[in-house]
Amino acid sequence: MHALPNLPDQPLTLFTGQWADLPLAELAPLAASMGYDGLELACWGDHFEVQRALNEDGYIQSRLDLLAAHGLKVHAISNHLVGQAVCDLIDERHREIVPAHVWGDGDPEGVRTRAAQELMDTARAARKLGVKVVNGFTGSSIWHSLYAFPPTSQAYWDAGYADFARRWTPILEVFREEGVRFALEVHPTEIAFDLATARRALDALDQHPNFGFNYDPSHLAYQGADYLKFIHDFADRVFHVHVKDVWWNRGNGDVGVFGGHTSFGDARRYWDFRSVGRGNIDFERVFVALRDVGYSGPLSVEWEDARMDRVHGASESAAFVRKLMFPPASQAFDAAFSTERQGGS
């Protein structure tokens, strides 16, 4: 039994990206048993296949029926892996994450072009599914220049944002036509990875109304960016929320914020993702800030913790978030002092 009921319009969902090794038929009952209201379906594994959604009669209804059988709904889908290839400098790593029809012959410009088409198709599939938000990545042609040596001019970075706008504006126009919004997860390796670059991305797109953000405090916090300020500064652009925790200022001093080419879970690391409630993110302040700016969409747990069993972690994460999901005030807390409300004169 849930300790506190969540708001009817603010479901607690589980992002399925880290569970893509499980068929949806196995994950759905597991997610329900862990305490979730719905799933944010990843467009990899068998969870939500864009081309099947567009071309196979009955496919979408079969997904919805499968979720409904376990009391679950879908409020967003995510296509991070294909989105990454739209602007990236393509290398052999991308072959492992994009569908074969997107990779094709591996020619970099061809991969980017096919990835863009797949994102347009994702918008079309989202409309058919009945969801209004697609989360994902954009990739970046200038991420490799993060540390400005060789000396990097603003003109060089401007060209990267122009490349982003050239590739993403046609995609976003399809999103507009379909009545769906794209939410970039602000994240290292993307065109926007902190508050300054998020503003720059919006400016590059001339504030396109269908472009916003999938807010995830974990990717901001370990960099030193203000993850609470982000909510207030981009209040009208927070289209979706990932609940993911992280700790930082850890390790043995061997590894800094850039990660030292170590793997997650390495005890030397300065930062690492943690199960929700076990890191340094102040989620109570996050949820208050989201309430203050009027966000009432899904709270979607993205569970990552290299040290912990994922079923244990995702279960405790759901319980942790439930404790912080409180209904809004129905009246001012000091209204009882009003003599007028008490019937006095």
Q: Is the pLDDT of residue 343 over 80?
A: no
- Which of 273, 220, 213 minimizes the C-alpha distance to 240? 213
Distance CA 241, CA 217 (A): 9
- Strand-strand pairing, 73-78 and 133-136: parallel
Q: Which amino acid, residue 4?
A: L
Q: Which of the pair, 343 or 129, is modelled with greater confidence?
A: 129
Residues 6+ positions from 344 with CB-CB distance below 8 Å: none
Q: Is the dihedral of CA 148, 153, 154, 157 positive or negative?
A: negative
Worst-scoring range by mean pLDDT, 164-173, 268-277, 329-338?
329-338
Q: Which amino acid, residue 27?
A: L
The backbone torsions φ and ψ at residue 95, rounded to the nearest 5 degrees and listed phi first, read -60, -30
Q: Is the pLDDT of residue 3 over 60?
A: no
Q: Identify the H or E element spanning 84.
A: helix 80-87
Q: Summarize pLDDT for 215-241 with one digit per residue, the tens.
A: 999 999 999 999 999 999 999 999 999
* Mean pLDDT computed over 79-99: 98
Q: Identify the H or E element spanning 249.
A: none
pLDDT band for position 342 (cuts 50, 70, 90): low
DSSP 8-class letter at 273: E
Residues 6+ positions from 223 with CB-CB distance below 8 Å: 188, 193, 194, 257
Q: Summarize pLDDT for 158-215 with one digit per residue, the tens.
A: 999 999 999 999 999 999 999 999 999 999 999 999 999 999 999 999 999 999 999 9
- Which residue in this structure is represented by tokens 């390495």? 266
Q: Is the pLDDT of residue 344 over 80?
A: no
Helix/strand/coil percent split, the chain, to 5: 45, 15, 45
Contact between residue 163 and residue 138 where contact means Cβ atoms under 8 Å apart: no
Contact between residue 202 and residue 233 where contact means Cβ atoms under 8 Å apart: no
Contact between residue 149 and residue 101 where contact means Cβ atoms under 8 Å apart: no
3-state secondary structure of 204: helix
What percent of the chain clears pLDDT 90, i.e. is strictly above it? Answer: 91
Quote the pLDDT of residue 329.
Answer: 75
Quote the pLDDT of residue 240.
Answer: 98
* Mean pLDDT computed over 89-96: 97
Concatenate the DSSP letters of all residues of 172-225 into one string: HHHHHHHT-EEEEE--TTSS--SHHHHHHHHHHTTS-TTEEEEE-HHHHHTTT-
* Mean pLDDT computed over 19-25: 98
Distance CA 49, CA 160 (A): 30
Worst-scoring range by mean pLDDT, 3-12, 140-149, 334-343?
3-12
For the chain, the average pLDDT equals 94
- Strand-strand pairing, 238-243 and 211-215: parallel
Burial classification of residue 279, based on how many CB atoms lie within 10 Å of its CB (0-12 exposed, 13-18 middle, 19 or more buried): buried
Q: Does the pTM exceed 0.75?
A: yes
Q: Is the pLDDT of residue 340 over 70?
A: no
Distance CA 164, CA 199 (A): 13
Q: Is the pLDDT of residue 345 over 70?
A: no
